[in-house]
Every structure is written in structure tokens, then in C-alpha cells.
Structure 1
């Protein structure tokens, strides 16, 4: 099981570390550089344009823009993957994603992973002039259109909601097959993910997740990205951190997306190193240190 980092600061849900609201891009980059050096699989950045005040009480109000943030981190790192977790498909035309994030794939040397979701904040859809009703069907069509468009200079697609031909998208992604992960918390999101490359569920008990995965016909190479229920503290409680990761692997995770408890950016980097030291006894996979 590989290990990726749910990047601090870029999203600040309830329970975030006390130092995060005052941190900036240098602190984010320092942590990403450390994760890159230690061989972590990916860093993340999610998308919200504007969160309703009431919703911010439940999910936080700080969300850094993923394209700008990951573009900066691409220049500060060399091998760690850059994962959107997640972009909301209904907020964008598929060719807009293909162009903007294909450019990110180009400037990062082919390190993009596109995490995608249907979205759930009706107020945000309304703000952006996007249709909330029928968003699932539109997302399915957008996903198919995006797969047809990524990595293609002259993409062609015709579906029920999106269609294009005779258009040039340059630059485009340099990976022949950009990994697409689907986020969600329903059986429908898993079915949608099975048309892509991975599933990033949230808010589902591990036992239920394990049952859902056991009932699914997972294709070879399909990624299941699971997160511990709370931030890990590998320095203060390595046994609990290791046990949490073991539970993820036993539930079917191929990648763990972890949050770390920390008192400062420097402490967060120390936690990254301490978690890597747990690799051997707990079946974790990291790239070789540099």
C-alpha cells in the first residue's frame, strides 16, 4: 500500500491544526518538498469556489485553488504526484479541464492525477450557473468526454451533454493515460469509479467499504484511496498510526491518503519522516529516499 498526503493548509475542515490558518505557500511547499524527498505517492488539493457560510461550519471555508497551488508545487518538487481531490465536474466544460490540467501535466513532467466528483453544494452550483439537477448524468458524460480529450491534440467526442470535434487543444497532457480517481460516498460513486482508474470514498465506515469493495469487480490496477478516520501521530503514537494504516490495507486500500497531527510546519515534516519509518512492519510502499 502506497501512502499519499492530504496536504495541510490548502483545505481546512474542522479539526485542522492550529498553525494552518496563518500558513502560506512557503509552508505548503516545504511540506510538499519533504514528502517528495521521502517518496510519498501524492499531495492533494481540492476545489470549492465559494462555500456557503452555514456549510463552512461543517466542512471549513478555506480552499486553495488547485490549479494555482499544484502548479506552484510542481515547480518545487520532482516526482510526487499532484492530485486534485476533487474537482467538481459540473463546474467545468471537459475541454477546459483538459486544457488547464493538461498544461499542469506538461509543466510537471507527467505527474497529474485527476480526482473528480459530482458535487453536493447546490448553492455553489447556482452561483456558477451550473445545473444541480441531473448533475450525475452530466458528470458521467463529462467523464467520458474528458477521457476522450486528455492527452489529445485534436480530441473528438459526442455524447448526450457534451460534444466537440475540429478543435485543437495545445498544450495537452503528456501522459498517455492520466489517472482519473472518482470521489464519493455512495454505491453509485463506486460504479462510476469503475469506469475510471480509482475510487476515493469518504464518510463511509471501513467495514462497509470493505463489503462494497468485496462485491465489486475491480479491474487490474484499480486504485482504492482510503483515509484514516482521524489524523495520524506517528511520533507520539506510532502503534496507533501503524494500526490505522493496517486497517486501511485490510479494507482494500491500495493507497492511504493521510492527514497528520502537527504543531507547526516543521513538526509536520518530522511526522512525514516518522511515518515513513513505519513502512517495513506495516507493509507500506515508498519510493527510495533521495
Structure 2
């Protein structure tokens, strides 16, 4: 199920503000809020970003609240809000921990989001990693992978063209139950699978329309992509999978402040040449994150990337 332009390197972004892990959040985000999200979403829409993304955590245990923070906006509510102020950009859950709830609940939420947005949903899913969230909701943490596998299968049925879908699995089953509104996208919205463990790569290969790696460095990607394609071929799936990656932090131009040694900065030509290496590996979309000290600087960076870098990604 291809939704990205074939033969091109698309670019999207995880929204700031909506998740504030200390691993990546900028200082200005702590005082930001809904108005900032709206302006950044509108900028992404204006500057040709393929998607804006929002991640999910239900509740953060105290032991992780320091590094992760407790600021995690709900992806359905957030993306629905931003759907109303944008026109083109797609809306990605990166990722929804759909194994925490019955698939009919997720299907209702995300089908509605697809309908409200005019068919712009990308449902990104992942297994989750915070044990306490699963325990609080009565879901077995140790079996989260198997639960996710079945949930994806159930969601494919529930988000498909049938108003009264049918599914029978080991944990979930439904028939004779109708849900509307139906998704706008046919036969259903795309499902991209997140994660870089062997189980996650296998899940993306066998069940996903796309793959969202998590934390793979450049030198690791070719082997991961080769494994994914081999597993997909062995499963007899001919439909190509849309492969993504999270690029290094970016700063277009010569920064006059400390942006970190891993940040890819400099001239648009230099940045584009570096990012084209991903396309040569078989990557279809890169998720970009810009270093910034304010919302205005972030929007300026988005504009500079779209104007001066993006046109060179397919050179």
C-alpha cells in the first residue's frame, strides 16, 4: 500500500511540544502549548512535509518521569485538532501502542480521524516499552508482541471497507458489529510498524505497509533493510514496504550556538548530499528534527529545509 511518491525521498517530522522526553526536547518546548503546535503544523502543511507525527504514552511511572517527562499528548486528540487547521499534510501516530486497548476502540478512534481529515491518517503502531502502563491497564507486558501482532490483523479488518467487519483470533473476535464513519482511504489506511528489534523488523515485514525504525544508526540500516525485504519475500508479500528512518538532528546553515556534535549542519548542498545516502539504501522517507531555540527558529528551519534542501534530495 504505497502512499509516498515512488522514487523520491519524502520528509516528515515528529511534532515538538507533544512529547517532551529529555532525549530530544528543546528548552523552549516546556513553556509551549496548543498554539505552538498549530503554527508548526501549518508550517509543515505549507512547506511540503509528508506528515506530522504524535507519539503515545498513557501514563509515565515516577521512576521514568525524569528522563521521559510526563508530557505526552494523546495522539488521536492532537492529530484531530491539527487536522482541522491543515489541508494536505498526513497525520501519523508514531507510534500508537494499540495493544493496550481492544482493536475496535482503536478502529473507532482512527477511522474517525481518517474521516475528519479527509483521508490523511497513517496509523503507526508499536509494542510499547513501559511495563507499568501495561500493568495498570491489565495487559500482560511479556506478551505485548503477540498481542500487537493480533491487534494489527484485527485492525486491518476493522479499518477495511466493510461496515460490519469480521475477525476471529486467539484474543479478539468480532462480527455483526458495525462502525461508522468508515475511513476515507481505501481499502484502508496504511499501517506502519515501529521498532528495530528482530521481532519488530519481522512484524513490519510480514504485517506492515511501512517500517519506522527506532534508533538505528546509518551503518545499521542496510542490514536491517535487507532482513526486512528477505522476510517479506519469504512471506510471499509482493506489495513494496515503505521504509523510513529517523535522520540525525539538523540545522540548516552555520549555527552560532552549540547544536551538538551529532547534528548535521552547514550548507543546504552538504545536508542534501548526506541525506541522499538514505535514499541509496532504499529509504523512502526520512523523519527530520531541527535544533531550535524557539518556535520561530524552528519554523525558519523548516522553511529553509523545504526551500533549499528538499529540492536536492532526489538529485
What is the TM-score with the length of structure 1 in the denominator? 0.92
What whole-Å deviation, never above 9, does each CA across 1:62-103 have from its counterpart, x for those lacking one?
A: 211111110110000001000000111221111111111100
- Aligned partner of 1:253 in structure 2 is 283
- Aligned partner of 1:178 in structure 2 is 189
Q: 1:40 to 1:139 in 2, by over 3 A?
A: same
How far apart are the structure 2 equivalents of 1:163 and 1:4? 35
- Aligned partner of 2:134 in structure 1 is 125
How many residues are treated as equivalent by the alignment?
283
The equivalent position to 1:192 in structure 2, one of 182, 203, 214, is 203
- Partner SS, residue 280 of structure 2: helix
**Given the alignment of the two structures, is residue 8 of structure 1 paired with residue 16 of structure 2, yes or no?**
yes
- Aligned partner of 2:120 in structure 1 is 111
The equivalent position to 1:226 in structure 2, one of 240, 245, 263, is 245
Q: Which runs of 5+ in 1 are unaligned?
A: 285-290
What whole-Å deviation, never above 9, does each CA across 1:228-251 have from its counterpart, x for those lacking one?
A: 23x210133344533542333233
Question: Shift of the alpha carbon at 1:20?
Answer: 0.5
Q: How does 1:26-65 map to 2 (within 5 A)?
A: 26-65=35-74
How far apart are the structure 2 equivalents of 1:65 and 1:241? 33
What whole-Å deviation, never above 9, does each CA across 1:4-36 have from its counterpart, x for those lacking one?
A: 011111111214111101111111110110110
Question: Shift of the alpha carbon at 1:216?
Answer: 3.1
Question: Shift of the alpha carbon at 1:54?
Answer: 2.4
Q: How does 1:81-230 map to 2 (within 5 A)?
A: 81-151=90-160, 152-176=162-186, 177-194=188-205, 195-217=207-229, 219-229=238-248
For the Cα contact (< 8 Å) 1:225–1:256, is it kept in 2?
yes
For the Cα contact (< 8 Å) 2:275–2:313, is it kept in 1?
yes
How far apart are the structure 2 equivalents of 1:205 and 1:171? 40
What whole-Å deviation, never above 9, does each CA across 1:33-63 have from its counterpart, x for those lacking one?
A: 0110111100000100111222233334321
- Aligned partner of 1:287 in structure 2 is none
- Higher relative contact order, chain-length normalized (CA < 8 Å, sep 6+): 1
For the Cα contact (< 8 Å) 2:53–2:91, is it kept in 1?
yes
For the Cα contact (< 8 Å) 1:42–1:81, is it kept in 2?
yes
For the Cα contact (< 8 Å) 1:156–1:164, is it kept in 2?
yes
Q: Which runs of 5+ in 2 are unaligned?
A: 1-8, 233-237, 255-264
What is the TM-score with the length of structure 2 in the denominator? 0.85
- Partner SS, residue 87 of structure 1: coil
Q: 1:133 to 1:46 in 2, by over 3 A?
A: same
Question: Shift of the alpha carbon at 1:206?
Answer: 2.0
